[in-house]
């Protein structure tokens, strides 16, 4: 291969990397995890940045983690929950429980935020 196409490929990759953050958390307004396949409920309301600002959540660790040590989350990159939590598993926390536990436990603890099915899984 001559050098020119290689340079073009590298340039395209650099542009993609630069553009990637444009499709990140700011764009999340609701959650409908494709890992569940055919959804039983409407998507859950979750405007990522607005929610976290309104809820005055400090940092990312209350939600994003890579494991649990001594009952506390260990810091981890913000990636998809389904990368680690399987829909059906006998080991650890299955995906639906992971979501429900994370969202509802905090709402219950803060006595703020929705805890009933229809408040999160809102029909559009």
CB of 19 to ligand HEC, least distance (A): 14
What is the distance between the alpha carbons of residues 117 and 96, in angstroms, rounded to a whole number?
A: 13
Query: What is the dihedral sign for C-alpha 52, 55, 57, 63?
Result: negative
Of 5 and 37, which CB lies nearer to ligand HEC in the complex structure? 37
| Contact residues: ligand HEC, CB under 6 A | 24-25, 28, 31-33, 36, 39-41, 43-48, 50-52, 54-55, 57, 59-60, 62-68, 76, 78-85, 92-93, 96, 98-104, 106-107, 110, 112-117, 120-121
Asked if 54 and 63 touch (Cβ cutoff 8 Å), the reply is no
């Amino acid at each position: 291969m001559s050098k020119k196409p290689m340079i073009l490929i590298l340039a395209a990759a650099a542009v993609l990397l630069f553009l990637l953050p444009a499709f990140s958390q700011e764009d999340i307004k609701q959650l409908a995890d494709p890992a569940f396949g055919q959804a039983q409920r409407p998507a859950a309301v979750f405007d990522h940045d607005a929610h976290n600002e309104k809820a005055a959540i400090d940092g990312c660790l209350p939600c994003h983690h890579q494991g649990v040590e001594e009952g506390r989350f260990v810091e981890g990159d913000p990636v998809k929950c389904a990368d680690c939590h399987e829909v059906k598993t006998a080991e650890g926390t299955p995906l639906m429980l992971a979501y429900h536990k994370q969202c509802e436990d905090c709402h219950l603890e803060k006595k703020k935020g929705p805890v009933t099915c229809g408040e999160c899984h809102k029909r559009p």
